C-alpha cells in the first residue's frame, strides 16, 4: 500500500522503519524539517502453531523491501536509516543468517509455566526486578527461549544467532549484528545495573552469550547499507542502531521525563521517560531502558480497543454510539487482565436495570478500560503526577471521540493528540537523523513537532464514576479470581505478598502478563 509522493525535499533524507507484528511501515523523512516525503506499508503472513503465533523472518525482509519500493524514487536518495520493531519476538538463525524455525512471537500462554519456574529459580519477583528492571512476563524473550529449549531442542542446538526483528533486519542491511540497551532491557537477559548481559540468567536458560549481538553505544553507527539485490536503499547509506517499538515511539514524540503517554490500541500501554531506574517487584511496571541514556517504565493493560469493539459488536452498536453510563459498571476483562493482576478473570457487568440502554453499557466498557490505564499512570511516573500535567494520547483510539472524552472525564487532565500517526517509524527516522546530523534524536523529533497536535482542555474529574468502578472492582474478588489461590502459579502466590504500587481498592496485584509490543495502527 503506497501513498502519493509529496513535493521534493529540502535536505538529506532519512528512513524510519517500523517492522511490527502484522506489517512493516516505512517513512521517508526530510531530515532538517521532519516533513514526510513518502510512506509505504506491506503486511506479514503469520501462522498459528503450538498454541502460539509465528512468522517466517523472511517475511520481515520481503515486507521491508516492498514498503521501501513504495517510497521510490526518493528512497534511492536516503542518507541514513534505522529500524524499530517488537520487543518480544525471537528469531533463531543458523550460521548463514537463515531461520532455523519460524520466529516466535511473544505469546503469553505457552511460555507461562516456564516463566513461573524461572522467577522462582532466581529468587522471586523482587530479585528479578532489581536485577533486570522487570519481573518478566511470559512474553519476554527469556521465557520464550526457555520454552523453546524444552519443546524444540534441535532448533536450539542448530542456533548460531538469536535476534529480535529489527536487529535481524539491521544485520541484513549492514552485515553486522548488534543491538542497544533499549532493546536488550526488554529481553529478561540484560542486567539493568551493569548494562550488560546477565551471565547467571543466560546460564539458567541455556543461552550462550555468543548467540546474542553485542551492544553498541549511543550515537554509534552500526555500519552502512551493503549492495543488496532488489533493495532500493542506496549503498553506503548510514545505518543507525534499531530499537524497540516503545523506545522508538518515545523518540518520535520527543518525550521529556515525566510526560506520560497513554497508547490506545488493541491493548493499552502507559509509558514515560524517567531519569531513575525503575524496579517494580509487583511486575505491574516493566523497568525498560529508553533508546538514549534514560529509562522507560512501561505498563500494559490487556483489554483496550479489542475489548470495547467486542462489546460494541455484541450490542449491535457503532463503537462511538455511547450514552452517559449511569449506575452500570462494565469491567471488560475479556482476556484476563494485567493491571490489576487478574489473569483468569472474565468480563463483569454490574448494576444492570430495566432502564439501562445499550449506549450506557458501551460507555461503561470504555470507562472500565480507561480506569485500568489511568491506574498505571502514577506507578509509571514514579509517584503522583501533578494535576496540570497533560496526557499524550496515542494509538488508533486517540482519534476516537468516545475514547478521548472518557480519558478526559476520568482523569480530569488535559489531553494532547499528536498528529503523527506512525510514531514508531517517526522515532526510527529521528534516530537516523540524529546519527546523520550529530544531534540528540529526541531533540530532532521535538524540532519536527512529533508530539504536536490538537489540545483538549481538562474537564472536572468524574469522581462518582471512579468510585463506582473502584467499589465493584474491590468487591468482586471471588468472581474475578475463579478458583482462587489453587489456580495461581507459585510466582503469582509469592508476588501477592508484595504490596503493590498500583492503588486499586480491594485488589492485590502481581506480575500479571507484563508489557507487549505497540502494534501498528
Does this model's pTM top 0.75? yes
**Which of 30, 107, 167, 245 is the catalytic position?**
245
CA angle 314, 320, 325 (to 5 degrees): 75
Q: Is 350 left (phi over 0), alpha (psi -120 to 50) or beta?
A: beta
312/297 Cα distance (integer angstroms): 32
Residue 503 has a pLDDT of 42
Q: Is 368 left (phi over 0), alpha (psi -120 to 50) or beta?
A: alpha
Which one, of 418, 417, 397, 428, lies nearest residue 67 by Cα? 428
pLDDT tens digit sequence for 474-507 = 999 889 987 644 344 333 332 232 223 334 433 3
Query: Cell for 410?
Result: 476520568
Residue 145 has a pLDDT of 95
Q: How confident is the model at residue 329 (pLDDT cuts 50, 70, 90)?
A: very high
128/279 Cα distance (integer angstroms): 9
Least confident of 156-170, 333-347, 501-515: 501-515
pLDDT tens digit sequence for 231-277 = 999 999 999 999 999 999 999 999 999 999 999 999 999 999 999 99
343/95 Cα distance (integer angstroms): 39
Q: How confident is the model at residue 159 (pLDDT cuts 50, 70, 90)?
A: very high
CA angle 222, 225, 230 (to 5 degrees): 145
Q: What percent of the chain has pLDDT over 90?
A: 81
Whether omega before 73 lies within 30 degrees of 0, making that bond cis, reads yes
457 noted as active-site residue: no
Residue 483 has a pLDDT of 60
What is the chain's mean pLDDT, rounded? 90
Q: 325-358: b or e for each residue (b if 16 or more CB lie within 10 Å)?
A: bbebbbbbbbbbbbbbbbbebebbbbbeeeebbb
Residue 83 β-bridge partners: 17
Q: In 10 A of CB 402, how many CB atoms?
A: 19
| Arithmetic mean of pLDDT, 137-148 | 92
CB contact at 8 A, 53 and 47: yes
Residue 499 has a pLDDT of 26
Q: In 10 A of CB 377, how many CB atoms?
A: 20
Query: Which residues, other chains included, contact 418 with Cβ-Cβ below 8 Å and sequence gap of 6+?
Result: 253, 392, 394, 398, 450, 451, 452, 453
Which one, of 470, 480, 461, lies nearest residue 504 by Cα? 470
414/396 Cα distance (integer angstroms): 19
Check pLDDT > 50 for residue 334: yes
CB contact at 8 A, 243 and 375: no
Query: Cell for 121?
Result: 529459580
Residue 226 has a pLDDT of 96
Amino acid at each position: 500500500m503506497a501513498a502519493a509522493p509529496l513535493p521534493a525535499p529540502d535536505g538529506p533524507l532519512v528512513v524510519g522503519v517500523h517492522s511490527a507484528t502484522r506489517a512493516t511501515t516505512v517513512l521517508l523523512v526530510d531530515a532538517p524539517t521532519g516533513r514526510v516525503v513518502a510512506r509505504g506499508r506491506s503486511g506479514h503472513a503469520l501462522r498459528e502453531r503450538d498454541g502460539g503465533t509465528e512468522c517466517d523472518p523472511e517475511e520481515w525482509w520481503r515486507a521491508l523491501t516492498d514498503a521501501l519500493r513504495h517510497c521510490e524514487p526518493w528512497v534511492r536518495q536516503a542518507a541514513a536509516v534505522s529500524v524499530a520493531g517488537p520487543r518480544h519476538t525471537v528469531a533463531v538463525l543458523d550460521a548463514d543468517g537463515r531461520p532455523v524455525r519460524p520466529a516466535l512471537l511473544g505469546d503469553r500462554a505457552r511460555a507461562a509455566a516456564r516463566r513461573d519456574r524461572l522467577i522462582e529459580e532466581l529468587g522471586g519477583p523482587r530479585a528479578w526486578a532489581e536485577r533486570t528492571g522487570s519481573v518478566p512476563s511470559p512474553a519476554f524473550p527469556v521465557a520464550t527461549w526457555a520454552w523453546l529449549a524444552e519443546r524444540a531442542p534441535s532448533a536450539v542446538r542448530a542456533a548460531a544467532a538469536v535476534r529480535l526483528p529489527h536487529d535481524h533486519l539491521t544485520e541484513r542491511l549492514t552485515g553486522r549484528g548488534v543491538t542497544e540497551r533499549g532493546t536488550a532491557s526488554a529481553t529478561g537477559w540484560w542486567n539493568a545495573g551493569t548494562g550488560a548481559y546477565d551471565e547467571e540468567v543466560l546460564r539458567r536458560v541455556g543461552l550462550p552469550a555468543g548467540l546474542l549481538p553485542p551492544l553498541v553505544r549511543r550515537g554509534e553507527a552500526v555500519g552502512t547499507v551493503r549492495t543488496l539485490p532488489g533493495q532500493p536503499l542506496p549503498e553506503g547509506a548510514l545505518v543507525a542502531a534499531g530499537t524497540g517499538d516503545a523506545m522508538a515511539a518515545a523518540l518520535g514524540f520527543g518525550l521529556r521525563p515525566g510526560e506520560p503517554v497513554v497508547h490506545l490500541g488493541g491493548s493499552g500501554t502507559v509509558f514515560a521517560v524517567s531519569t531513575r531506574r525503575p524496579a517494580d517487584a509487583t511486575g505491574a511496571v516493566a523497568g525498560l531502558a529508553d533508546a538514549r541514556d534514560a529509562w522507560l517504565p512501561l505498563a500494559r493493560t490487556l483489554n483496550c480497543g479489542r475489548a470495547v469493539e467486542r462489546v460494541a459488536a455484541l450490542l449491535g452498536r457503532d463503537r462511538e454510539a455511547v450514552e452517559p453510563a449511569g449506575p452500570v459498571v462494565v469491567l471488560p476483562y475479556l482476556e484476563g487482565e494485567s493491571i490489576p493482576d487478574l489473569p483468569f478473570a472474565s468480563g463483569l457487568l454490574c448494576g444492570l436495570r430495566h432502564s439501562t440502554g445499550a449506549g450506557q453499557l458501551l460507555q461503561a466498557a470504555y470507562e472500565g478500560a480507561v480506569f485500568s490505564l489511568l491506574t498505571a499512570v502514577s506507578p509509571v511516573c514514579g509517584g503522583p503526577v501533578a494535576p496540570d500535567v497533560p496526557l499524550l494520547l496515542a494509538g488508533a483510539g486517540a482519534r476516537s471521540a468516545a475514547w478521548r472524552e472518557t480519558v478526559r472525564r476520568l482523569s480530569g487532565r488535559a489531553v494532547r493528540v499528536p498528529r503523527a500517526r506512525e510514531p514508531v517509524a517517526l522515532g526510527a527516522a529521528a534516530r537516523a537523523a540524529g546519527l546523520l546530523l550529530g544531534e540528540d534524536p529526541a531533540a530532532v523529533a521535538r524540532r519536527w513537532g512529533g508530539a504536536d497536535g490538537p489540545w483538549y482542555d481538562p474537564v472536572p474529574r468524574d469522581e462518582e464514576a471512579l468510585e463506582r468502578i473502584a467499589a465493584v472492582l474491590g468487591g468482586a474478588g471471588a468472581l474475578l479470581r475463579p478458583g482462587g489461590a489453587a489456580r495461581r502459579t507459585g510466582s503469582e502466590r509469592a508476588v501477592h505478598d508484595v504490596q503493590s504500587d498500583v492503588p486499586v481498592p480491594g485488589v492485590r496485584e502481581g506480575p500479571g502478563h507484563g508489557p507487549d509490543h505497540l502494534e501498528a495502527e
